[in-house]
């Protein structure tokens, strides 16, 4: 177990003004409170907090963070309280220890929302003090280093969580060394055979080629010295997980991988970085398309460096990173560099970014996202991104993830006035589709229009979490108004079936009974089929039930006919139970039933004697009323089959299907579906509209066939 003086000496090397007495006091306090506790490996439990503190000391962090690491399990695992730590040390340290404890104790009852809620809590803790997450990352790193003591099932669970959340989080915060360690230890658990295979191939390659890294490093040093440049050169083989991931992404075997070696050249000034780039490119041939200048265009986490790939000895490709010492500190420590000490003073690194800027922007983007899966997807997208840089027409630089489209560009500029109103885009002066993938250096102009609204298909085009979240929110807001209108009509019909009125007072009572905040929320849920109309009725009139009534004979479904009259639904509007209707008397004793808003009724305005006041029977109706749906779907295998399955699952019956237009990318078709009532219709269209590959869906109502419209029966 590491001694207190060893830790103090490590901190003292970078911070001679550190409070050695306070660190030793925290060491003694932690050792005393954890006395008699052991890890699964059999080691004294306090060996773990010391190792966590040493990991953070290697990041040159402040005394408060080091002491927090020593005490981070005292509140959770011992009798200590937050007040005890505040009295013994300081309120700042007590708050940090309490923050780490709350993260460790995250327990939720819903397995579906657990991961998303844990990520949300991680971000909230980060927004208060990023050092809480720095301790948590160091805690997870040491746990991964000693994970063999756990059961295999627990190892797999922790490794997946580390690979999904903690490793990319460390990377997004710029802590590359910790990210690589977390990934490698997780890889060792999740795919031990794959990792061992890569290591064996490395050993074999070294036997065949000798120490390639040392030879190339020596060559680079000689070139620097010849040009009078002072620089340090470090070379290494890339981590097994990094190589395995590249093999998977590019579908290549190990023997076909080229840049498995990486070199860093660290110098004093930014000017020297560009001089070194010239030296490297003069001596070795640059690989086209593999140059990135993160000095002139730094990453959002503060990372700065020049990346280039060249053909080295024997034609082998090697990646070279060129940066200054200050850039290197940020590249290795990321946001931790914000608290780093050098010679007893807080390090004033000009390349360190505000660690709260990204976290707060992320929280603002997703704080309104209630869908746990959508929230988790959006956060992961933000953490895993590789950046491309594009320009506005005025020359402003916009950072986007690799694979981003004009949709992402538009939402990065402004959500409401540019993103939501986007109708097209020009890239380098040429009009392009909104799904076009943007590349580095392109100039992008977004074309907007007043009255435009986001489309559901944009979700498939967008790459950034911000764009996806904004599109979902806009679609929800637009749908909500439609759902409220539909819900009010459904409520009216449901209550009228039982001879009751859906007054505001009745709906307020129903909302209270169903524990909903207001009538608007009740109507919205009713309109989008989250709530059944019969449940709303029964919440107010518990002794009445729509479900108890027998099914209405379709021949007697309409009330208000004169004796001996028969009726038929007019094909122009296809009225269904739940809609307000009117009857038009035809020759003989027949009556044509129309929806009250049917356009065909205009031609009968001059003959009021033909009109009959009708309404649907209040009982339950069978699925015998055909309704024509007009839809546009993607021309992909299985799409139509899935739609037919959805209709069947919703208790609808397809009586006719006709294709109107066929294209390589999409089909347009009409479909006659037999349904019970307006509620059944809305529930069905909601389910179908939710399919990603359904571009549009509407109920078809018209008085006459369209000109030149050809229907092909399938």
Which residues does the annotation mark as catalytic? 76-77
Nearest-CA neighbor of 410 among 378, 381, 441, 436?
Answer: 436
Q: For residue 656, give the nearest of 639, 671, 641, 640 by alpha carbon.
A: 671
Dihedral (Cα; 497, 501, 505, 510), 10-degree rounding: 0
DSSP label of 162: I
Assess contact for 151 and 118: CB atoms under 8 A.
no
Rounded CA separation 283/286 (Å): 9
Instruction: Give whole-number Cα distances, 668 to 654, 663, 707, 713, in Å.
Output: 16, 9, 16, 13
Q: Return the C-alpha torsion angle 481, 486, 487, 491, nearest 10.
A: 150
Question: Hey, CA dihedral for 586, 589, 592, 593, is it positive or negative?
Answer: positive
Q: Please, which residues have CB within 8 angstroms of residue 225's CB and are 6 or more apart in sequence?
A: none
Q: Among residues 697, 690, 571, which one has the least CA distance to residue 630?
A: 697
Cβ atoms of residues 185 and 143 within 8 Å: no
Secondary structure tally for the chain: helices H, strands E: 27, 23
Give CA–CA dist 525/539, Å, rounded. 15
Name the burial class of residue 451, with classes exposed (0-12), middle (13-18) and buried (19+) by CB atoms within 10 angstroms of its CB: exposed
Cβ within 8 Å of residue 246, ≥6 positions away: 252, 257
Asked whether the beta carbons of 459 and 405 are under 8 A apart, the reply is no
292-293 and 444-448: which strand pairing? Answer: unpaired
Burial of 291 (0-12, 13-18, 19+ CB in 10 A): middle
Question: Which of the 8 DSSP states describes residue 164?
Answer: I
Q: Where are the beta strands (DSSP E) in 315-420?
A: 317-324, 341-342, 345-346, 387-391, 397-401
From 200, 46, 195, 72, select the one nearest 140 (Cα to Cα): 72
> For the chain, how long is the longest CA-to-CA vector?
110
Give Cα 28 distance to the centre of its chain.
44
């Amino acid at each position: 177990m590491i001694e207190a003086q060893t830790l103090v000496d490590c901190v003292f090397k970078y911070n001679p003004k550190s409070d050695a007495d306070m660190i030793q006091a925290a060491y003694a306090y932690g050792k005393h409170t954890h006395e008699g506790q052991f890890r699964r490996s059999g080691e004294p439990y306090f060996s773990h907090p010391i190792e966590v503190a040493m990991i953070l000391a290697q990041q040159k962090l402040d005394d408060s963070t080091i002491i927090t690491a020593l005490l981070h399990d005292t509140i959770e695992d011992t009798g200590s309280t937050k007040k005890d730590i505040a009295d013994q040390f300081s309120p700042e340290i007590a708050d940090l220890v309490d923050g780490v404890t709350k993260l460790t104790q995250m327990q939720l009852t819903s397995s579906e929302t657990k991961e998303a809620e844990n990520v949300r809590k991680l971000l909230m803790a980060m927004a208060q003090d990023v050092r809480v997450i720095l301790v948590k990352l160091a805690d997870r790193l040491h746990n991964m280093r000693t994970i063999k003591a756990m059961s295999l099932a627990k190892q797999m669970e922790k490794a997946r969580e580390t690979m999904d959340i903690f490793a990319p989080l460390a990377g997004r915060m710029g802590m590359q060394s910790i990210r690589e360690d977390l990934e490698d230890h997780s890889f060792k658990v999740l795919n031990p055979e794959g990792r061992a295979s890569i290591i064996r191939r490395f050993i074999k390659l070294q036997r065949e080629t000798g120490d390639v890294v040392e030879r190339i490093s020596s060559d680079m040093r000689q070139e620097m010295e010849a040009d009078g440049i002072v620089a340090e050169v470090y070379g290494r083989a890339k981590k097994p997980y990094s190589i395995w991931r590249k093999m998977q992404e590019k579908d290549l075997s190990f023997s076909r991988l080229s840049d498995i070696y990486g070199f860093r050249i660290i110098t004093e000034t930014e000017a020297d970085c560009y001089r070194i780039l010239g030296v490297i490119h003069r001596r070795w041939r640059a690989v086209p398309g593999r140059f990135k200048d993160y000095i002139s265009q730094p990453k959002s986490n503060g990372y700065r460096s020049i990346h280039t790939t060249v053909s080295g000895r024997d034609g082998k490709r090697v990646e070279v990173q060129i940066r200054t010492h200050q850039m290197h500190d940020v590249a290795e420590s990321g946001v931790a560099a914000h608290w780093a000490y050098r010679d007893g003073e807080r390090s004033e690194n000009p390349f360190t970014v505000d660690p709260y800027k990204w976290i707060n922007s992320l929280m603002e983007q997703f704080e309104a996202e209630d869908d746990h899966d959508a929230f988790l997807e959006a956060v992961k997208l933000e953490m895993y991104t590789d950046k491309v840089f594009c320009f506005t027409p005025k020359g402003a630089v916009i950072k986007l993830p690799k694979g981003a489209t004009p949709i992402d560009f538009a939402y990065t500029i402004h959500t409401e006035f540019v993103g939501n109103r986007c109708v097209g885009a020009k890239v380098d002066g040429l009009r392009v589709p909104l799904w076009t993938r943007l590349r580095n250096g392109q100039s992008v102009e977004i074309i907007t229009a007043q009255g435009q609204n986001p489309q559901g298909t944009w979700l498939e085009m967008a790459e950034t979490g911000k764009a996806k979240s904004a599109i979902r929110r806009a679609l929800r807001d637009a749908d909500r108004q439609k759902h409220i209108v539909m819900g009010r009509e459904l409520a009216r019909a449901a209550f009228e079936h039982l001879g009751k009125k859906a007054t505001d007072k009745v709906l307020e009572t129903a909302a209270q009974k169903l524990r909903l905040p207001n009538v608007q929320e009740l109507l919205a849920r009713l309109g989008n089929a989250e709530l059944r109309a019969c449940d709303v009725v029964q919440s107010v009139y518990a002794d009445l039930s729509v479900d108890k009534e027998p099914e209405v004979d379709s021949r007697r479904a309409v009330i208000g006919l004169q004796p001996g009259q028969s009726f038929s639904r007019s094909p122009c509007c296809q009225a269904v139970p739940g809609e307000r209707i009117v009857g038009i008397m035809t020759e003989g004793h027949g009556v044509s039933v129309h929806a009250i808003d049917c356009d065909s009724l205009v031609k009968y305005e001059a003959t009021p004697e033909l009109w009959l006041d009708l309404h649907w029977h209040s009982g339950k109706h069978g699925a015998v009323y055909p309704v024509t749906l007009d839809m546009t779907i993607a021309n992909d295998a299985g799409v139509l089959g899935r739609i037919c399955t959805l209709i069947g699952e919703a208790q609808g019956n397809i009586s006719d299907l006709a294709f109107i237009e066929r294209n390589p990318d999409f089909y347009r078709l009409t479909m006659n579906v037999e349904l019970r009532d307006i509620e059944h219709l809305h529930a069905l269209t909601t389910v179908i509209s939710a399919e990603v590959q359904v571009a549009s869906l509407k109920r078809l109502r018209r008085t006459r066939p369209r000109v030149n419209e050809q229907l092909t029966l399938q």
